[in-house]
Amino acid sequence: MYSAPMTADIQPFHAIAVSRYAHELKAQGRSIIHMEFGQPSTGAPRAAIAVAHRVLDADGMGYWESPDLKSRLALHYRDSYGVVVQPDQFILTCGASPALVLALSCRFEPGDRVALVRPGYVAYRNTLKALHLVPVEIACGAPDRFQLTAAKLAALDPAPEGVIIASPANPTGTIIAAEEMSAIAAVCAARNIQIVSDEIYHGLSYVGRACSMLEFAPDAMVINSFSKYFSMVGWRLGWLLAPPSYLRRARAYVGNLFLTAPSLSQHAALAALDSREELEGHLAVYAANRALMLHALPQFGLAAIAPPDGAFYIYADIRHLTDDSLTFCKDLLHDTGVATAPGIDFDPVDGGHFIRFSFAVSTPQVVEAITRMAPWFAARATSDKLA
């Protein structure tokens, strides 16, 4: 019988501490470039903002779940992935984070073991612990493109009750190929491993579309939101796409824990779904930023990086410079005004050797960041050689 502790030991999100220091420096008059968070520098689509203005003038709003938005999302899955889901399978949430809590709460029991990739998004590990689930971290390095493989999942003994999959991934931006996704789904079916697929970075790809796990595992729990591709971080709107067998439980959880997603955001999101031309323009900016960073980083001595297939991150190996990525990020911020994320957020074992850059800022900011960082990294490399 599982005996859960009364409280869980949750580690801090260190990038928040870096960001806090960045804002302190900004208050002192320093010029800061924020590359520490995966937050688009662009705002919501123009049509979404226009709808929000109209709704504010005409609708008092309240607790509500938009049937039109859920129907439009179902159409999106049909058109984008060729999968048929019903509108009532969508549970709208206040961003992707509550959707993750819902998926894990509905699908697993305290003490269940859930596999996840290391390096991976810090909240996966900590949310599992908070819900008294047991993280089973799978170390995936450069030979694996920092991504889950069917072979590594099949090698776990005993099999975990679940697995969290992210493609494109945070912090690396790597995408799992369709053949590997299919193989992972087959392993999960054979070993009765329940799938939670975080697809929040879908739409942000530079190597072709990312597959949804629903294409291979129709009973997967799928998480997504309007924060990344749709550039609506502050609107706090996401969704959990749940299989019919878990809907009753999921709705009971969301009603008690979170009530409903913001009404205003739901109205705006419906317009955002039809703003593809504008949103693809954002993607073009990210692609240009990615190219600039991929050209500059090897000149800084940062040649060992994960392949950023999607999202807007570059995960760079800095082991030749430090084994303390948090101090390294703070020093870089203090000296150059460029804020980045320490690898220890994403990998508690090897993360001291890595740093994550987000290139979701504007292209002029990327150019300025490169200009500031170039002499700093050159000086670090020189001092390291002298030492």
Structure tokens of 358? Answer: 């987000």
Whole-angstrom CA distances from 179 to 155, 186, 222, 247, 357 are 18, 11, 19, 29, 29
Query: Which pLDDT band, with edges at 50, 70 and 90, does 200 fall under?
Result: very high
Mean of all residue pLDDT scores within the chain: 94
Query: Which pLDDT band, with edges at 50, 70 and 90, does 49 fall under?
Result: very high
pLDDT in tens, 210-266: 999 999 999 999 999 999 999 999 999 999 999 999 999 999 999 999 989 999 999
Does residue 152 carry a pLDDT above 90?
yes
Q: Which residue has the higher pLDDT, 169 or 57?
A: 169
* Mean pLDDT along residues 53-65: 87
Write down the pLDDT at residue 387: 52
The structural domains of the chain, with segments of one domain joined by +, span 14-43+276-381, 62-272
Q: What is the CATH number of domain 62-272?
A: 3.40.640.10
Would you say 36 and 19 are in contact if contact means Cβ atoms under 8 Å apart?
A: yes
pLDDT in tens, 280-320: 999 999 999 999 999 999 999 999 998 899 999 999 999 99
* Mean pLDDT along residues 57-63: 83
Write down the pLDDT at residue 5: 57
Would you say 376 and 336 are in contact if contact means Cβ atoms under 8 Å apart?
A: yes
Q: CATH classification of 14-43+276-381 is 3.30.1490.20, yes or no? A: no
Structure tokens of 219? Answer: 């009973």
Q: Check: pTM over 0.95? Answer yes or no.
A: no
d(CA 195, CA 286): 30
Residue appearing with tokens 């799992």: 176
Domain 14-43+276-381 and domain 62-272 have a common topology: yes
Write down the pLDDT at residue 4: 53
pLDDT in tens, 74-90: 999 999 999 999 999 99
